[in-house]
Amino acid sequence: MGKKITTVGIIGFNVMGAAIGLNAASSGYKVIYKELNDELVSAMYDRWVTKALAKRVERGKLSQEDVDLISGRITGTADFNELADCDLVIEAAVEKMDLKIEIFKQLSDVCRQDTILASNTSTFLIEKLMEKVDNPGRTAGLHYFFPANVNRLVEVIRQKNTSDETYEALMEFSERNKKVPISVSDFPGFAINPVFISSYMVLCSLLGDKYNSATLDQVSQSALGVKYGIIWVLNGSGLGTAYHAAASMNEYLAGTDVGFPKTPAPLKEQFESGNPFDLETPASDDPKLLKAAEEELLGSVFCIATHLIEKRVVSKKDLELGVRTALAWPKGPFTMMNELGMEEAARLVQLNVEKGNFKMPATFAKGVPEPWQI
């Protein structure tokens, strides 16, 4: 019988941590969240439990009886020792590596030896974050996607030390939380973020005299078949987050046999301006310009998706599922390549490699491969 999880600790109870905690409490788990001091413990409970659940009652999403049950399962503390009896602790603190490493060291000191310790980081390698944890077989990543109360995907990330028992317990935990878990190996950005981040890096690098923001947003809508374009998504999720993630991914991968696009100067400039991208200025209708941008975008998706499979970061099936679930793209990268035709997919990969965005994936190095078996 696998590891049983009944009590869940959450480190950091702000936007992401609170959504994870509410999701767990709604699924029947007892939740104990940790904040920096008693004042924040109280403030975060008021904001993310009391007021957030009251809004759901007003909208007819929950009954008052439901609210009482959920809120009764959630308590807060400023003391690490209060997490000693948790079966699982999920860290959702700010993205600072040294801070996270220290958090996991303290958790290792106070929690039981069989307590599962997981990070919700979207940036750092799990193995690095867990370097001061005793019994590293109980460590893993549990990467929720924003907004965690709506987005159903969870990446269950196995670092090289993660035990089968830990992995299986986190898959079951995710499913009980009504999430869609996919299995991912420890890799910079994991599986879905490398696809999305490289996509917006390529698009943002084209901003200038020929392409405005609205044109590139339209390109992504057309190329990917999405309702909301990538630039629109960036405006909603925050340009600061987008810029720092882009810089981090480039630092991790640009010098490897995978490669990664350069951090776009227009993205940095837009972030530093404090303003969102302008989507009101009319988009271009020049078919030649639109086709060129679409080809570069699709080529980047095909390159990174192929590298992820070759590195055994994720299976084709799980990458397809993850992209459709987390990013709301109607089709995954391998379906898109098959439908476009492998000869054309190979041409777009070659084009992307020539532009310096990625290194050539081994699958395409010898010419046109057979269609993907999904």
CATH code at 126?
3.40.50.720
Residue 1: the pLDDT is 47
Residues 277 and 347 in one domain: yes
Residue 208 lies in a domain: yes
Residues 241 and 304 in one domain: yes
Which residues in the chain come in under a pLDDT of 70? 1-2
Cis preceding linkage at 371, omega within 30: no
Give me the chain's average pLDDT, please.
97
Residues 35 and 142 in one domain: yes
Residues 171 and 271 in one domain: no
Residue 161: the pLDDT is 97
Residues 287 and 325 in one domain: yes
Tokens of 11: 């480190």
Residue 195: the pLDDT is 98
Q: Identify whether the C-beta of residue 132 lies closer than 8 Å to the C-beta of residue 106.
A: no
Q: pTM score, two decimals?
A: 0.96
Residue 103 lies in a domain: yes
Please say which residue of 163, 185, 207 terminates a domain. Answer: 185
Q: Identify whether the C-beta of residue 353 lies closer than 8 Å to the C-beta of residue 359.
A: yes
Please say which residue of 159, 185, 211 terminates a domain. Answer: 185
> pLDDT, tens digit, for every residue of 133-161?
999 999 999 999 988 989 999 999 999 99
Residue 2 lies in a domain: no
Please say which residue of 156, 185, 214 terminates a domain. Answer: 185
Q: Identify whether the C-beta of residue 242 lies closer than 8 Å to the C-beta of residue 201.
A: no
Contacts of 11 (CB under 8 A, 6+ apart): 17, 33, 34, 89, 90, 91, 92, 93, 103, 107
Residue 339 lies in a domain: yes
Residues 313 and 256 in one domain: yes
Residues 51 and 139 in one domain: yes
CATH number, residue 306? 1.10.1040.50
Range of the domain at 165: 7-185
> pLDDT, tens digit, for every residue of 297-327?
999 999 999 999 999 999 999 999 999 999 9
Whole-number percent of the chain with pLDDT over 70: 99
Residues 128 and 253 in one domain: no
- How many distinct structural domains can be found in the chain? 2
Residue 204: the pLDDT is 98
